[in-house]
């Protein structure tokens, strides 16, 4: 009877795992089937579906500009906050900050977008110039959305390190900051890199918040104060009424987005393994 229950449990878990992988495969096959025929036609510089022009290169540039802008803001803040939470903050302060950070992850993206429209966009318009709806506004909003992922995973990676790492370094006469910089951060780098990649994925895949603060102009930006459109916002804005080649071009946009995210993950894994070998 015991062996029967174990076999039954194993098959049930295998079925659920297979279902999850199958859903991913079905979605991937569907996207590629719909988008591949138009893929050679979407690497132009002009997006005008009414004229059968489906160039997404300005949106690729917009996606990278906003994502890397968000990373420049969010990654240093997130890692520093994780170090503070793991090594420097008193226990009472941790018990206050951790639920607050977790709450940030649960806030709907539309709330971030609304906050950006009300506070960030007018501030940029009044003090930095331009229309306010811009790369800077999108980067600030996305950096806030990246923070919970980066902070939580980086903190767990630091706390999961064996205690002898820290104790041995302190016994050798290193200061607390030297231990953090020279021992703990290098030892936890794989988890920290994973947190940054997941943060990138959140930023690249975000739609609603950036629709509200980017301005959605299909053009090459000449300044960080210019409005842009990202790949995700293009799909979100136009999929509701797209037909024919226009619809297939949006699926091709989804393929490009899929490849970009896969490339980021593969690059991060390669860099992490290379550092480990060294």
Cβ–Cβ under 8 Å, residues 33 and 170: no
What pLDDT was estimated at residue 96?
87
Is 1 inside a domain boundary?
no
* Residue 61: CB atoms within 10 Å: 17
Token readout for 141 is 């909003």
The Cα–Cα gap between 146 and 199 comes to 5
Largest CA distance in the chain: 74
Domain assignment of residue 6, yes or no:
no
Q: Is the pLDDT of residue 248 over 80?
A: yes
Query: What pTM, to 2 d.p., does this model score?
Result: 0.86
For the stretch 199-224, pLDDT in tens is: 888 888 888 889 999 988 888 888 89
CA atoms within 13 A of residue 162's CA, in its CB half-sphere = 4
Secondary structure, 3-state, 44-56:
CCCEEHHHCEECC
Here the CATH number for the domain that contains residue 258 is 1.10.3720.10
> Is position 11 within any domain?
no
140-163 confidence digits (pLDDT tens): 999 999 999 899 989 988 988 888
Residue 270 lies in a domain: yes
pLDDT over 90 percentage in the chain: 26
Band of pLDDT at residue 242, cut at 50, 70 and 90? confident
Domains: count for the chain: 1
Residue 201 lies in a domain: yes
Q: Is residue 17 part of a domain?
A: no
Lookup: tokens for 229: 């459109």
């Amino acid at each position: 009877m015991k062996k029967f229950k174990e076999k039954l449990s194993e098959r049930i878990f295998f079925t659920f795992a297979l279902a999850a992988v199958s859903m991913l495969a079905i979605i991937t096959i569907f996207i590629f089937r719909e988008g591949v025929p138009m893929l050679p036609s979407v690497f132009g510089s002009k997006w005008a579906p009414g004229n059968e022009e489906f160039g997404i290169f300005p949106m690729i540039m917009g996606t990278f500009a906003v994502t890397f802008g968000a990373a420049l803001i969010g990654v240093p803040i997130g890692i520093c906050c994780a170090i503070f939470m793991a090594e420097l903050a008193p226990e009472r302060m941790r018990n206050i900050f951790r639920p607050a950070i977790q709450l940030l992850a649960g806030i709907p993206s539309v709330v971030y977008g609304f906050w950006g429209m009300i506070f960030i966009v007018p501030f940029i318009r009044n003090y930095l110039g331009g229309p306010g709806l811009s790369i800077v506004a999108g980067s600030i909003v996305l950096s806030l959305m990246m923070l919970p992922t980066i902070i939580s995973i980086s903190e767990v990676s630091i706390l999961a390190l064996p205690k002898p790492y820290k104790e041995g370094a302190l016994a050798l006469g290193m200061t607390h900051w030297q231990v953090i910089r020279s021992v703990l951060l290098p030892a936890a780098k794989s988890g920290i890199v994973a947190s940054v990649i997941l943060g990138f994925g959140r930023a690249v895949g975000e739609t609603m918040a950036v629709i509200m603060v980017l301005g959605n102009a299909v053009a090459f930006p000449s300044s960080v104060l210019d409005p842009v459109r990202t790949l995700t916002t293009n799909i979100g804005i136009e999929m509701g009424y797209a037909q024919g080649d226009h619809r297939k071009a949006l699926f091709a946009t989804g393929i490009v987005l899929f490849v970009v995210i896969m490339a980021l993950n593969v690059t991060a894994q390669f860099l992490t393994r290379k550092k480990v070998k060294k």
